[in-house]
Amino acid sequence: MVRGLLVGALLLGAGIAMFVVNSTDSQSPPPRTSPLPPPPLEEQAEPGGFAADRVTPIEIDGKRFMTYLEAVCALGPRMSGSPGMKKQQDLIAAHFEKLGLPVRKQTFSAKQTSRADAIDMTNMIVSIFPEKKKRVILCSHYDTRPIADQETDPRKWREPFVSANDGGSGVAFLMELGHHLPKLNLDVGVDFVLFDGEEFIFETERDKYFFGSKYFAETWRKATDRPAYTAAILFDMIAGKSPRFPAEGYSYMQAPELNAHIWRIANELRCKVFANQVGSRVLDDHLQLLEVGIPAIDIIDFDYRHWHKLSDRPENCSPEGPTQIAKVLSVWLQRMK
């Protein structure tokens, strides 16, 4: 992901005032955010079947989540097209097939600007309740960056970089959710989508991001018989210690209903990792989905201290964020008609 401008928002009476506070880039320290109070109670009643039904949030197994994260990182770096990525694909496919969930691979060829040759990339799609036409996407990138370019010493950039939170946490979270979501009584189907080629960056100034999500979104846009995707939630760096998720700026502006809905449930369940604030705008895979008309938000902790550093390792991760996110998601999914 790439950080963009910082956007602050204040609720002023009935209106919302937006202002640009600061300009940042991916090299800058994480920007500050500004407060966004929870929505007034009268906004909490939703049309179209989103009544405040009492449904039970799921409780994930945090220890098991961590074992998945450790298993993925034990494969080493998982760059697009690398042996580590191939091993990861095998691990993921075996995991979901064991749970009885169909796994589909979407393979395509991608040429990075700074590279001489194109390589094969693969998105992985795991379907829960595949017969349901109305569906939601839960997604993450699963490739890791070739260079740990937030290390101050450039000689360290090419040391083996396992990128636990950035890439690993989304995979481990979906692996854990695979145990729980099939047991819920849902009116919608769920597709887990793991995007390749989000981090295939060798030269930050000219290389392109988001190969996998772009290909997935374009393929969906062109398809005649396609799932009716009503929403997508992207997970990126969700497993830091004491994580904090302010609303991501583009999600807040471009998918306001979905974003408000998720934060409203988080408030209702007292899931404090969801901060009532609007944070940075982050260029990330969700923008490719928004581009083709799928409401999409990014749940991301952009204050993670180990971002793009060799220290982004399982020991600097925790199940706290995933545990709370799973509660919120499960309530959202169960209320969806």
Stretch that binds Zn ion, among 112-120, 125-133, 162-170, 255-263 (CB under 5 A): 162-170
The correct pick among 143, 149, 166, 176 for binding Zn ion (CB under 5 A) is 166
Residue 149 is a binding residue for Zn ion (CB under 5 A): no
Tell me, letter by letter, the H, E, C secondary structure of 122-178.
EEEEEEECCCCCEEEEEEEECCCCCCCCCCCCHHHCCCCCCCHHHHHHHHHHHHHHH
Helices (H), 201-291: 211-222, 249-254, 256-268, 286-291
What distance in Å separates the CA atoms of residue 252 and residue 273, rounded to the nearest whole number? 17
Closest CB to Zn ion among 147 and 174? 147
Phi then psi for residue 99, to 5 deg, are -85, 0
Stretch that binds Zn ion, among 70-78, 165-173, 205-213, 321-329 (CB under 5 A): 165-173
What distance in Å separates the CA atoms of residue 234 and residue 286, rounded to the nearest whole number? 6
Which residue, 251, 260, 259, is CA-closest to 287? 251
- To Zn ion, the closest distance from the beta carbon of 220 in angstroms equals 24
Residue-wise over 111-123: b if at least 16 C-beta within 10 A, else e?
ebeeeeeebebbb
Number of residues that bind Zn ion (CB under 5 A): 1
- To Zn ion, the closest distance from the beta carbon of 324 in angstroms equals 22
**Residue nearest to Zn ion according to CB distances in the complex:** 166
- To Zn ion, the closest distance from the beta carbon of 1 in angstroms equals 6
Closest CB to Zn ion among 166 and 303? 166
Stretch that binds Zn ion, among 164-172, 175-183, 205-213, 288-296 (CB under 5 A): 164-172
- To Zn ion, the closest distance from the beta carbon of 309 in angstroms equals 11
Closest CB to Zn ion among 44 and 311? 311
Q: Which residues bind Zn ion (CB under 5 A)?
A: 166
